[in-house]
Structure 1
């Protein structure tokens, strides 16, 4: 009887883990699909594990290389109400429960998270003058209830707004990268998407330790 209960509990934990993983991958894949609709010369890389220089890596969900610059995406396929600002270490995800109450969960500031990704990327590129845009993309099932920003290169949007936002950004800044630039950047960054399962596990373990509250 005890073994049966343990087996059921283990199965429930595994189902929950795979559901979270699948939801995250779905959000990233949808962003990828949307970006392919953007006109102009382009290339897209998913799940880049960039070396930070201290033995750790920074995982970037998507890097979009386009004529108008480099777009760095952090996907948050969340639901509920989202509260936060660029100066808060933790943002809040809020749900209404079945009893009429509210459940709240904290998560690390995604703007800070993406800032780290961009700084690591800039070190690899050795060119801090290229246009780099930070995009935090939430799922369509959430409500960005109170998200306060002041910097113009920060974008916190829902996935349904993504195509319009990138197109407007590209029109505003125009062409800053040539086809050759994009090809060279793609070749430079592609190896960082080809990592072993062991390297991914080490990265995940480091992240869990770093952002534990």
Structure 2
């Protein structure tokens, strides 16, 4: 009996060691600097990992950049969770870790998250910072039309959109599960060469932990 228990512990240990090795050598780890332990400890990191993993399954040509610090004025910068450079456009993605019923309008400064225990929490509008960044991107990359730069807020599967009002064509709010097929029927507006050029330029703004 003891032999079987020791064998089981050994197998589990090998599996965990392999998982850690595989993760540490993954694109996400190299891209962000996060460790396997960070995934387990930090909810935000865990959500980021899930979003990046889902984006990697998208169809078409693309590049994924995380944790960009975009200068929007002389002494001010905005942090953006993910920039997804896809053949259909540039997508600025805000990752929301809050779970619950989501209420908000595109123009509101704050949105409301109501948890399933009837507790309400005011959170910053996840789309607000993107407006300034879109204007900056339009200047940095004049070859890309502003209509091809999108603002997305991604929530977990444990969220429900009770009242979301959006007015702009290039703005969207969705759940993680909707990301995988989000790009399937979008027209190509950016070439593979442009994606590579933009990624190279933006990579200078990435700050790892």
Q: TM (normalized to structure 1)?
A: 0.73
Asked if 2 retains the 8 angstrom alpha-carbon contact of 1:58 and 1:120, the reply is no
Question: For each residue in 1:75-134, what CA deviation from the matched residue of structure 2 results, as whole angstroms up to 9, or x when unmatched?
Answer: 10220111111122211011243xxxx211101111222222322333332446151111
The structure with more helix, counted as a fraction of residues: 1
- Correspondence for 1:143: 160
Instruction: Note if contact 2:61-2:86 (Cα within 8 Å) is conserved in structure 1.
Output: yes
The unaligned stretches of length 5 or more in structure 1 are 1-17, 198-213
Contact map agreement 1:47 1:61 (CA 8 A) in 2: yes
The answer (yes or no) to whether the contact 1:83–1:144 under 8 Å persists in 2 is yes
From 88, 111, 116, give the equivalent of 1:68. Answer: 88
Deviation of residue 193 (structure 1)? 0.4
Structure 2 runs not aligned, ≥5 long: 1-37
Give the number of equivalent residue pairs. 171
Structure 1 runs, 4 residues or longer, greater than 3 Å off: none
**More displaced 10-residue stretch of structure 1: 138-147 or 23-32:** 23-32
CA contact (8 A) 1:50 1:121 kept: no
Deviations 1:42-72 (A, max 9, x none): 1110011111222111111111111111111
TM-score by length of 2: 0.74
Give, in whole Å, the separation in 2 of the partners of 1:87 and 1:70: 21
